[in-house]
Amino acid sequence: MSVAAHYDDTDLALFALQLLESDEHRAVSDHVNGCAFCRQELARLQGDLATCAYGVEMYDPAAVVRERVMRQVAREKKIAPVEEMPRAPRFEALERPAEPEEPTLEFRRRAPESTTAHRRSHPEKADRQPRPGSPLRSVSLWLGWTVAACLAVMGTRMYLQRQDDQAQLRTKTAEAIRGRQEAEGARRLLDALTSSSAQQVLLTGTAAAAEPLPEGHVIYSAKDGALVLLAEHLAALEPEKVYELWLIPSDGRDPIPAGAFRPDDRGDGRVILPPLPKAVTAKAFGITIEEGAGGQSPTMPIVLAGS
């Protein structure tokens, strides 16, 4: 984290309200982009803004507005199955393909230069923005918003160290899994994760990487086989590669794959409740970079590790 002072919530509130002069706005924006702590506070303030908005006196628009919107919708018909891969699948633990088990479960070595791509600059963002001045531009800028930051937010050590934040952790994680089919079972696992018996492990990098240093937080309940990983500041990957989390059992058995994921544009990544066997005590956790959708045995080096 930078040595520059954080913005206090007064300034962040004005920023969220978009009431700062453009140079001030840009300064806050630059800081917040690189500061998980201020992003966390900003996320809360954004939630407060939504609260404020819901306090207005409510009116329904004329029925003709609905007709106009739906007519426009019908006019812009979609070509049915648009199932192209999203550019950066966000944070979902990828399905592992049912590939045959590798005969050897030893760590493989890979040439070091292929481990990480450089952190991406974002040239692809430019083509997504409608022309400046269009009201749609704001909509589209806002469209990048995601629950991700909730989790990036949670991923900071500060956040987890706060005594009173267990309940929020629960809420945020619940948000992250809401809408999934397994949500009911997940809720049960969530209870396990937020109980005091769950292990919390900080994963850090070993190599001298660029600031801010990548880090991850694992919360793991062995009894239930429930796990959440929240990672931030991860280097961008080549398109065909994924990060994969490994649970290293304390009884000396082989590492167990615990979810593959790709970080988003900001370098935040997460794994929520991957399929894991129950009652495996963990000695450590590690994150490696793997091909495709992740493998069954980790490929060296381990980019983040913690025990």
Partner 1 sequence: MTAKVMEMPHASVPEQRDDATLLMLIRRGDEAAMAALYDRYVRVVYSVLLRVLHHSSSAEEILEEIFVAIWRRPEDLLSVRGSLGAWLAVVARNSAIDALRRRAPLETIGDIAMASPYDLSNDGERRLLADRTRAEVARLAPEQRKIFAMAFFDGLSHREIAEMTNETAETVKMTIRDAMLALRRAARG
Q: Which of residues 2-31 bind Zn ion (CB under 5 A)?
A: 6
Interface residue with Zn ion among 16, 38, 189, 289 (CB under 5 A) is: 38
CA distance 114 to 162: 38
Part of the chain binding Zn ion (CB under 5 A), chosen from 34-42, 87-95, 132-140, 205-213: 34-42
CA distance 176 to 219: 15
Q: Which does 107 bind (CB under 5 to 8 A by kind): partner 1, Zn ion, none?
A: none
The nearest distance, CB 271 to partner 1, in angstroms, is 15
Q: Which does 67 bind (CB under 5 to 8 A by kind): Zn ion, partner 1, none?
A: partner 1
Residues numbered 186-225 forming contacts with Zn ion, rule: CB under 5 A: none
Q: Which does 51 bind (CB under 5 to 8 A by kind): partner 1, Zn ion, none?
A: partner 1
**Under rule CB under 5 A, residue 35 binds Zn ion:** yes
Q: Which does 158 bind (CB under 5 to 8 A by kind): partner 1, Zn ion, none?
A: none
**Under rule CB under 5 A, residue 151 binds Zn ion:** no
- The token duo for 181 is 């089919």
- Mutual angle of helices 36-54 and 22-33, in 10-degree steps: 120
The nearest distance, CB 102 to partner 1, in angstroms, is 33
Per-residue b or e along 97-122, where b marks 16 or more CB atoms closer than 10 Å to that residue's CB: eeeeeeeeeebeeeeeeebbeeeeee
Q: Which is nearer to partner 1, 112 or 130 (CB)?
A: 130
The nearest distance, CB 5 to Zn ion, in angstroms, is 8
The nearest distance, CB 26 to partner 1, in angstroms, is 7
The nearest distance, CB 267 to partner 1, in angstroms, is 10
Q: Which does 35 bind (CB under 5 to 8 A by kind): Zn ion, partner 1, none?
A: Zn ion
Whether the Cβ atoms of residue 10 and residue 39 lie closer than 8 Å to each other: no
Q: Which is nearer to Zn ion, 160 or 174 (CB)?
A: 160
Q: What secondary structure, in 3-state letters, does the chain show?
A: CCCCCCCCHHHHHHHHCCCCCHHHHHHHHHHHHCCHHHHHHHHHHHHHHHHHHHCCCCCCCCHHHHHHHHHHHHHCCCCCCCCCCCCCCCCCCCCCCCCCCCCCCCCECCCHHHCCCCCCCCHHHHHHCCCCCCHHHHHHHHCCCCCHHHHHHHHCHHHHHCHHHHHHHHHHHHHHHCCCCCHHHHHHHHHHHHCCCCEEEEEEECCCCCCCCCEEEEEEECCCCEEEEEEECCCCCCCCEEEEEEEEECCCCCCEEEEEECCCCCCCEEEECCCCCCCCCEEEEEEEEEECCCCCCCECCEEEEEC
Q: Which does 48 bind (CB under 5 to 8 A by kind): Zn ion, partner 1, none?
A: partner 1
**Under rule CB under 5 A, residue 149 binds Zn ion:** no
The nearest distance, CB 79 to partner 1, in angstroms, is 7
**Under rule CB under 5 A, residue 44 binds Zn ion:** no
The nearest distance, CB 22 to partner 1, in angstroms, is 7
The nearest distance, CB 292 to partner 1, in angstroms, is 22
Q: Which does 117 bind (CB under 5 to 8 A by kind): Zn ion, partner 1, none?
A: none
Q: Which does 6 bind (CB under 5 to 8 A by kind): partner 1, Zn ion, none?
A: Zn ion
Q: Which residues bind Zn ion (CB under 5 A)?
A: 6, 35, 37-38
